[in-house]
Structure 1
Amino acid sequence: MLQRLSALYRSLIIAHPVATLIAILLITIVAVIGLPNFKLDASADSLTLENDTDIDYFREINQRYQYGDVLVVTYTPNGDLFSDHSIEVMQRLRDELIQVQGVENVVSMIDVPLLYSPRRSLAEQKESTRTLLTEGVDRDMVRQEFLTSPIYRSLILGPDGRTTALLLNLKVDNHYIDLVRHRDALRLKSKKEGLDSAEAAELEKVSQEFLDYRTQLTAKDHARVEQVRNIVAGYQSEARLFVGGVSMITADMIAYIKSDLVIFGSAILLFIVLILAVIFRQLRFVLLPLFICVATVLMMLGWLAWIDWRLTVISSNFVALLLIMTLAITIHLVVRYREFHAENPGWDKQQLVWETVKFMALPCFYTVITSIVAFVSLVVSDIRPVMDFGWMMSIGLSLAMLLAFLILPATLMLLPKGEAKDKKDNSAAFTLRFSRIAENHGSKVVAVSVVAAIVSIYGMSKLEVENRFIDYFHKHTEIYQGMSVIDQQLGGTVSLEILLDVNPVVTSAQTASTDNTTTEDDDPFADDGAAAEDAFAEGAFDEDDPFGDDPFSDDAFASEGSSAPESYWFSLAGLDEIRKLHLYLESLPEVGKVNSLATFYEIAEDINGGRLNNFELGVVRNMLSEEISNFLVKPYLSDEHNQARITLRVMETSPELKRVELVEKIRNYAVNEVGFQPEQVHFTGMLVLYNNMLQSLFQSQIATMGAVFVGIMLMFIVLFRSVSLSLIAILPNMLAASVVLGGMGLAGVPLDMMTITIAAITVGIGVDHAIHYIYRFRKEFAATGNYVEAMHNSHASIGRALYYTAITIVVGFSILALSQFIPSIYFGVFTAIAMIAALLGSLTLLPKLILIVKPLGKEQ
Structure 2
Amino acid sequence: MNRLGALYDRFILPHPWIVLILFGVLLAVAALRFDQFRLDASAESLVLENDRSLEQYRQVNRVFTTSDDFLVVTYTPHQELFTETELSHFRSLRDKLDALSAVGSTNSILNVPLLHSPDLTLDTVDSEIKTLDNDEIPPDTARQALLDNPMYPNLLLSEDAGTTAIQVNLPTPERYFELLNQRDELRDQVSTGVADADQQRQLERVSQEFIRYTEALGKERDATIAGVRAILDDYRDRATIHLGGVPMIVSDMIRFIQNDLSTFGLGVLGFLILTLAIIFRQWRWVLVPLLCCSFTVWLMIGFLGWAQWPVTVISSNFVSLLLIMTLSLTIHLIVRYREFQHDEPQAQSQDILRRTLMAMVKPCFYMAITTIVAFGSLTFSGIRPVIDFGWMMTLGLTVAFLMTFLIFPALLSLLPPPLDQRVSSDRIPFTDAFARFTEHFGGTVLVGSGIIAVLCVIGLSRLTVENSFIDYFKASTEIHQGMVVIDDRLGGTSPLDVVITDEPAPENVNDDPFASDCDPFVEDCDEQDYRDTWYTYQKMRQLSEVHNYLHSLPETGKVLSISTTLDLLAQINGGTPLNAVELAFVPAAVPADLQDILLSPYISEEHQQARFSIRILETMPDLRRQDLLDRIRTHLTTELGYDDERIQLSGMTVMYNNMLQSLFDSQIKTIGVVFGAILVMFLILFRSVKLALIGMAPNLIAAGSVLGLMGWLGIPLDMMTITVAAITVGIAVDDTIHYIHRFKTEFAKDGDYLATMHRCHRSIGQAMFFTSLTIISGFSILVLSNFIPTIYFGLFTGFAMFMALLGALTLLPRLIILTRPFPAP
CA distances 1:759-786 after superposition (whole Å, capped 9, x unpaired) = 1110110110100000000011111201
CA distances 1:443-481 after superposition (whole Å, capped 9, x unpaired) = 111111111111111111111113333222111222211
Equivalent position SS for 2:497: strand
Q: Measure, in 2, the Cα distance between the counterparts of 1:401 and 1:588.
A: 55
Deviation at 1:681, TM superposition (A): 0.6
Equivalent position SS for 2:475: coil
Partner of 1:601: 566
Kindly report which structure 2 residues correspond to 1:577-616, keeping only aligned pairs within 5 A, or say none: 577-608=542-573, 609-616=575-582
- Segments of structure 2 that go 5 or more residues without pairing to the other structure are none
Deviation at 1:133, TM superposition (A): 4.1
Partner of 1:753: 719
Partner of 2:708: 742
Q: Identify the range of structure 1 (382-391 vs 210-219) with the bigger mean alpha-carbon deviation.
A: 382-391
Cα 1:668–1:116 change in 2 (3 A) is farther
Letter in 2 for 1:59: R
Q: Measure, in 2, the Cα distance between the counterparts of 1:175 and 1:421.
A: 68
Q: Measure, in 1, the Cα distance between the counterparts of 2:775 and 2:601.
A: 54
CA distances 1:621-668 after superposition (whole Å, capped 9, x unpaired) = 422223433222111000011110001011111112111111111111
Equivalent position SS for 2:424: coil
Deviation at 1:50, TM superposition (A): 3.7
Matched, 1:169 2:169: yes
Partner of 1:353: 353
CA contact (8 A) 1:566 1:639 kept: no
Q: Identify the range of structure 1 (94-103 vs 105-114) with the bigger mean alpha-carbon deviation.
A: 94-103
CA distances 1:156-199 after superposition (whole Å, capped 9, x unpaired) = 21123111011112224333233223323433444444643233
Equivalent position SS for 1:741: helix
- Alignment partner of 1:571 out of 525, 532, 536: 536
Letter in 1 for 2:553: L
Deviation at 1:740, TM superposition (A): 0.3
Deviation at 1:799, TM superposition (A): 0.5
Q: Identify the range of structure 1 (223-232 vs 2-11) with the bigger mean alpha-carbon deviation.
A: 2-11
Deviation at 1:519, TM superposition (A): 9.2
CA contact (8 A) 2:377 2:670 kept: yes
Equivalent position SS for 1:516: coil
Kindly report which structure 2 residues correspond to 1:123-162, keeping only aligned pairs within 5 A, or say none: 123-133=123-133, 135-162=135-162
Deviation at 1:615, TM superposition (A): 2.3
Cα 1:157–1:333 change in 2 (3 A) is same
Q: Measure, in 1, the Cα distance between the counterparts of 2:780 and 2:433.
A: 25
Matched residues, number: 819
Q: Measure, in 1, the Cα distance between the counterparts of 2:22 and 2:521.
A: 86
Partner of 2:733: 767
Q: Measure, in 2, the Cα distance between the counterparts of 1:285 and 1:625.
A: 77
Cα 1:522–1:59 change in 2 (3 A) is closer
Letter in 2 for 1:720: F
Q: Measure, in 1, the Cα distance between the counterparts of 2:297 and 2:384.
A: 21
Q: Identify the range of structure 1 (626-635 vs 845-854) with the bigger mean alpha-carbon deviation.
A: 626-635
Equivalent position SS for 1:355: helix
Q: Identify the range of structure 1 (101-110 vs 381-390) with the bigger mean alpha-carbon deviation.
A: 381-390
Q: CA RMSD in A?
A: 2.2
CA distances 1:558-604 after superposition (whole Å, capped 9, x unpaired) = xxxxxxx9545321221112111211111222211100011122233
Cα 1:113–1:840 change in 2 (3 A) is same
Equivalent position SS for 1:82: coil
Q: Measure, in 1, the Cα distance between the counterparts of 2:552 and 2:483.
A: 22
Q: Measure, in 1, the Cα distance between the counterparts of 2:190 and 2:379.
A: 18
Equivalent position SS for 2:81: coil
Equivalent position SS for 1:167: strand
Q: Measure, in 2, the Cα distance between the counterparts of 1:790 and 1:521.
A: 90
Cα 1:168–1:416 change in 2 (3 A) is closer
CA contact (8 A) 1:502 1:642 kept: yes
Letter in 1 for 2:180: V
Letter in 1 for 2:411: T
CA contact (8 A) 2:70 2:170 kept: yes
Cα 1:372–1:51 change in 2 (3 A) is same
Q: Identify the range of structure 1 (798-807 vs 137-146) with the bigger mean alpha-carbon deviation.
A: 137-146
Percent of counterpart pairs with the same letter? 45
Matched, 1:646 2:612: yes
Q: Measure, in 1, the Cα distance between the counterparts of 2:802 and 2:518.
A: 81
- Alignment partner of 1:662 out of 621, 628, 639: 628
CA contact (8 A) 2:268 2:778 kept: yes
Partner of 1:456: 456
Kindly report which structure 2 residues correspond to 1:249-264, keeping only aligned pairs within 5 A, or say none: 249-264=249-264
Q: TM-score, normalised by structure 1?
A: 0.92
Q: Identify the range of structure 1 (678-687 vs 579-588) with the bigger mean alpha-carbon deviation.
A: 579-588
CA contact (8 A) 1:342 1:422 kept: no
Q: Measure, in 2, the Cα distance between the counterparts of 1:655 and 1:818.
A: 25
CA distances 1:257-276 after superposition (whole Å, capped 9, x unpaired) = 11111111111111111111
Matched, 1:30 2:29: yes
CA contact (8 A) 2:467 2:718 kept: yes
Deviation at 1:747, TM superposition (A): 1.1
Equivalent position SS for 1:683: strand
Matched, 1:682 2:681: no
Q: Measure, in 1, the Cα distance between the counterparts of 2:579 and 2:123.
A: 18
Q: Measure, in 1, the Cα distance between the counterparts of 2:118 and 2:783.
A: 56
CA contact (8 A) 1:147 1:154 kept: no
Partner of 1:199: 199
Kindly report which structure 2 residues correspond to 1:810-829, keeping only aligned pairs within 5 A, or say none: 810-829=776-795
Partner of 2:45: 46
Q: Measure, in 2, the Cα distance between the counterparts of 1:433 and 1:243.
A: 55
Deviation at 1:811, TM superposition (A): 1.0
Letter in 2 for 1:843: L
Letter in 2 for 1:201: R
CA distances 1:671-708 after superposition (whole Å, capped 9, x unpaired) = 11111111111011111112222223442231232122
Cα 1:440–1:509 change in 2 (3 A) is farther
Q: Measure, in 2, the Cα distance between the counterparts of 1:174 and 1:348.
A: 69
Partner of 1:531: none
CA contact (8 A) 1:465 1:752 kept: yes
Equivalent position SS for 1:585: helix
Deviation at 1:364, TM superposition (A): 0.5
Partner of 1:21: 20
CA contact (8 A) 1:100 1:224 kept: yes
Equivalent position SS for 1:504: coil
Q: Measure, in 1, the Cα distance between the counterparts of 2:613 and 2:460.
A: 35
Matched, 1:70 2:36: no
Deviation at 1:277, TM superposition (A): 1.2
Cα 1:466–1:797 change in 2 (3 A) is same
Q: Measure, in 1, the Cα distance between the counterparts of 2:8 and 2:185.
A: 48
Deviation at 1:118, TM superposition (A): 4.7
Partner of 2:490: 490
Partner of 2:395: 395
CA contact (8 A) 1:377 1:701 kept: no
Deviation at 1:346, TM superposition (A): 3.1
Kindly report which structure 2 residues correspond to 1:87-236, keeping only aligned pairs within 5 A, or say none: 87-116=87-116, 118=118, 120-133=120-133, 135-193=135-193, 195-236=195-236
CA distances 1:369-410 after superposition (whole Å, capped 9, x unpaired) = 111111112223243322221111111111111111112212
Partner of 1:540: none
CA contact (8 A) 1:371 1:765 kept: yes
Partner of 2:10: 11
Letter in 1 for 2:457: I
CA distances 1:191-218 after superposition (whole Å, capped 9, x unpaired) = 4446432332222222212111111111
Cα 1:155–1:415 change in 2 (3 A) is closer
Q: Measure, in 2, the Cα distance between the counterparts of 1:148 and 1:746.
A: 48
Q: Identify the range of structure 1 (452-461 vs 627-636) with the bigger mean alpha-carbon deviation.
A: 627-636
Cα 1:184–1:466 change in 2 (3 A) is farther
Partner of 1:855: 821
Kindly report which structure 2 residues correspond to 1:308-707, keeping only aligned pairs within 5 A, or say none: 308-416=308-416, 418-421=418-421, 423-504=423-504, 511-512=510-511, 514=513, 516-517=515-516, 522=521, 566-608=531-573, 609-707=575-673
CA distances 1:264-317 after superposition (whole Å, capped 9, x unpaired) = 111111111111111111121111111111111112112222332222211111
Cα 1:138–1:470 change in 2 (3 A) is same
Q: Measure, in 2, the Cα distance between the counterparts of 1:192 and 1:718.
A: 38
Q: Identify the range of structure 1 (412-421 vs 61-70) with the bigger mean alpha-carbon deviation.
A: 412-421
Cα 1:417–1:741 change in 2 (3 A) is closer
Q: Measure, in 1, the Cα distance between the counterparts of 2:811 and 2:775.
A: 21
